[in-house]
């Protein structure tokens, strides 16, 4: 199955638009594991086990593993997800953006070493930075398009005077991803949940692309506004901290499940006709 096939299947099977982001910070682990980077796999595996039937995807953020020398634990976690939730796609959040042989190595890392189904990429260096990932048949690639951080305005919101229609940079990225760059139907876009009006603009430009939307929960994104802005095409709505750290005690996995279930219910309600 391709990444898009897996995403559609998991969305339907689990009745879910929710992606759980796996951003393991040992400083925030439950009291009995607090500060122990050796427990990254155990923590994430417990979250996966508790939420696997509630999500459309998992999204491990590679920096949280690499910073602690825990790449081996990430490999083990990827295998664990395959074992307990083989129908749930895994998006490796790496935000790579290099070109040439370096990009080829990053693609090999994501898809061969870790076995990810999709990755996040920065398109700043152009199509050259995307093509090595598209060589992997059936894999997905989400391009950073309109992010939630304040500094995103520095580039993404600027108008391109020399492009027909004078779109913003983020609208131009969406057009490229919907059109000439999407050679094999593998591309999606990353848009932040805290800007629902701009999610609508991205969706208008890219009606068929899957949108990966971080920022619901601890980052303040409104779930209802997010879903309604992204309707019309596939969406993957990510929540990390609000689920991972729903409890600081031994019941953290049960608390994560409860938080994920509540978020899934909220997202599903928002997707119904008003």
Return the active site residues.
95
Strand order in the sheet with 57-60: 57-60, 18-22, 235-239, 211-213, 187-191, 140-146, 118-121, 91-96
Q: How far is CA 261 from the centre of its chain?
A: 18
- Using an 8 Å Cβ cutoff, are 126 and 183 in contact? no
Bridge partners for 187 per DSSP: 141
Distances in Å between the alpha carbon of 268 and those of 14, 198, 235, 254? 11, 21, 12, 21
- Using an 8 Å Cβ cutoff, are 81 and 58 in contact? yes
Instruction: Name the phi and psi angles at 233, rounded to 5.
Output: -150, 175
Q: Buried (b) or exposed (e) across 208-218, using 16+ Cβ within 10 A?
A: ebbbbbbbbbe
Please state, in angstroms and rounded to a whole number, the distance separating the CA atoms of residues 33 and 219.
25
Distances in Å between the alpha carbon of 270 and those of 5, 130, 222? 23, 33, 10
Instruction: Name the phi and psi angles at 244, rounded to 5.
Output: -60, -40
Please state, in angstroms and rounded to a whole number, the distance separating the CA atoms of residues 59 and 239.
9
DSSP 257: H
């Amino acid at each position: 199955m391709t990444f898009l096939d897996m995403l559609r299947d998991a969305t339907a099977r689990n009745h879910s638009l929710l992606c759980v982001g796996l951003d393991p910070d040992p400083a925030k682990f439950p009291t009995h594991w607090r500060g122990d980077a050796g427990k990254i796999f155990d923590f994430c595996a417990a979250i996966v086990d508790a939420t696997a039937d509630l999500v459309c995807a998992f999204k491990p953020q590679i920096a949280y593993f690499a910073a602690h020398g825990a790449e081996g634990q990430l490999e083990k976690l990827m295998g664990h997800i395959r074992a307990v939730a083989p129908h749930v796609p895994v998006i490796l959040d790496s935000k790579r953006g290099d070109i040439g042989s370096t990009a080829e190595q990053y693609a090999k890392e994501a898809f061969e070493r870790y076995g990810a189904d999709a990755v996040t990429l920065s398109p700043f260096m152009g199509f050259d930075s995307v093509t090595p990932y598209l060589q992997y048949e059936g894999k997905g690639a989400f391009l950073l398009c309109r992010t939630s951080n304040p500094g995103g305005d520095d580039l993404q919101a600027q108008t391109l005077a020399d492009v027909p229609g004078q779109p913003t940079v983020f609208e131009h990225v969406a057009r490229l991803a919907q059109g000439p760059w999407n050679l094999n139907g593998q591309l999606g876009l990353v848009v932040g949940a805290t800007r629902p009006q701009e999610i609508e603009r991205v969706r208008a430009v890219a009606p068929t692309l899957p949108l990966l939307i971080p920022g619901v929960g601890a980052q303040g994104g409104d779930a209802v506004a997010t879903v309604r802005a992204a309707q019309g095409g596939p969406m993957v709505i990510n929540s990390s901290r609000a689920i991972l750290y729903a409890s600081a005690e031994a019941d953290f996995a049960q608390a994560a499940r409860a938080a994920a279930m509540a978020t899934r219910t909220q997202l599903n309600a928002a997707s119904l006709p008003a």
